[in-house]
Chain A
Amino acid sequence: MAPFAPTGPDKQLWQRLDRAHTEATTPLARDEVAAIVHEIIANMAGDVSATDLKLYNELEALARYIQHAKAEIAAINPDDIRSNHIPTATDELDAVVGATEKATNTIMDGCDVIGGLAAQVPPEIGQKLTEVVTGIYEACNFQDVTGQRITKVVRALKHIESKIDALVVAFGEQVGASAPTPSTQPLAAAPGAAAGGDPDGYLLHGPSLPGQAIDQDEIDRLLASFD
């Protein structure tokens, strides 16, 4: 194995300590060694250039910026957006498509009945009924178009979700679930906000998704049970 051969400041330090050992009559005290080290470090300052110092400052500022960004991202709680808000939004939009589809079919069922009656009434009335029914069928086009638009929005939300996933992976656990959940923070600004701070409280959370609530028959039975 090659003998240890210090270079630069290390070499300086070893030479200085060797000389001190040679000159000293007794082993060096801790204070004496510390003084030598301080002296060498003080001399090292001359080896750091202005460019190096600027670079160190830039790196330090960059590190602070990244730390600040991580703190801000953690504050918006991306994990909550990914695991709660986006799935909820997509479920709600899917429910919109389902509900409008059901309503459209109910409307068309009605049109079929009216169309059948059109043949049983005087021709001029029957003709008018047929025209009205045709107009309703035409209007029902909206369901397919809005459905496709909503599907696009759902796709965009899923894209955002994948980007948030990547963000969480890139920044690590500290931007995950550690931050407080925004949805649980008091937000009293909305008029009529319910107790507990839910800004949508006055909406009674809107229509429930299928399977997440009881239906009218169950509500009626429940109310009747109090009588």
Chain B
Amino acid sequence: MKILVVDDYATMRRIVRNLLSQIGYTDVDEAGDGVTALQKMREAKYGLVISDWNMEPMTGLQLLKEIRADVKLNATPFIMVTAESKTENVIAAKQAGVNNYIVKPFNAETLKMKIHAVLGG
């Protein structure tokens, strides 16, 4: 299964990629913003998207909405990652169709649990 990691912060993408590798997911692709993520998703099939919320010009929430509005992409599981754990943000993400939500900083075990919860593994 191919996983797409979306974050405008290269260091964070590297951290997530490494943690995914540690828990057994080595087929990982990266996107530095929401627009690039959408392009990649229209070119290749991804089994999971792990995206940061705080990005410009397209936020993780906007990316999620774009994915859910696209009939070819809307079944893709989506995990939101953010440093801000405000209730209203979680609600907004849930209403937009997020499958799970991880608050930074997180560890490999949390990432593993969330992925398994989303994918049913």
B106 cross-chain contacts in A, Cβ below 8 A: 138, 141
Q: For the complex, what is the distance from the CA of A122 to the CA of B18, rounded to whole Å?
A: 22
* Chain B neighbourhood of A149, CB < 8 A: 83
- Kindly state whether residue B12 has any CB partner on chain A within 8 Å: yes
Distance between Cα atoms of A36 and B35 in the complex (Å): 87
Give Cα A105 to B14, complex, Å.
9
Contact A138 B11 (CB under 8 A): no
B28–chain A nearest beta-carbon distance, Å: 13
Chain A contributes a number of interface residues (CB within 8 A of B) equal to 20
Is the Cβ of B104 less than 8 Å from the Cβ of A134?
no
Tier of interface size on chain B: 10 to 19
For window 1-45 of B, CB contacts with A under 8 Å fall at 9, 11-12, 14-15, 18-19, 22
Query: Across the two chains, which residue of chain B brings its CB closest to A131?
Result: B22
A144:B22 contact, CB within 8 angstroms? no
Cα–Cα, bound, A143→B16 (Å) = 13
Residue interface mask A108-141, B partner, CB < 8 A = 1: 1001100000000000000000100110011011
Query: Is residue A45 within 8 Å, beta carbon to beta carbon, of the partner chain?
Result: no
Q: How many whole Å from B101's CB to the nearest CB in chain A? A: 16
Bound Cα distance from A144 to B14, whole angstroms: 11
Least CB separation from A142: chain B residue: B105
- Give Cα distance in the complex from A149 to B84, angstroms: 10
A134 near B108: Cβ-Cβ < 8 Å: yes
CA distance A140 to B12 in the complex (A): 8
What A residues does B22 contact at CB under 8 A? 130, 133-134, 137
* B interface list, Cβ under 8 A from A: 9, 11-12, 14-15, 18-19, 22, 54, 83, 104-108
9 A-B pairs whose Cβ atoms sit less than 8 Å apart in the complex: A104-B11, A108-B18, A133-B22, A137-B108, A138-B107, A138-B108, A141-B106, A144-B105, A145-B83
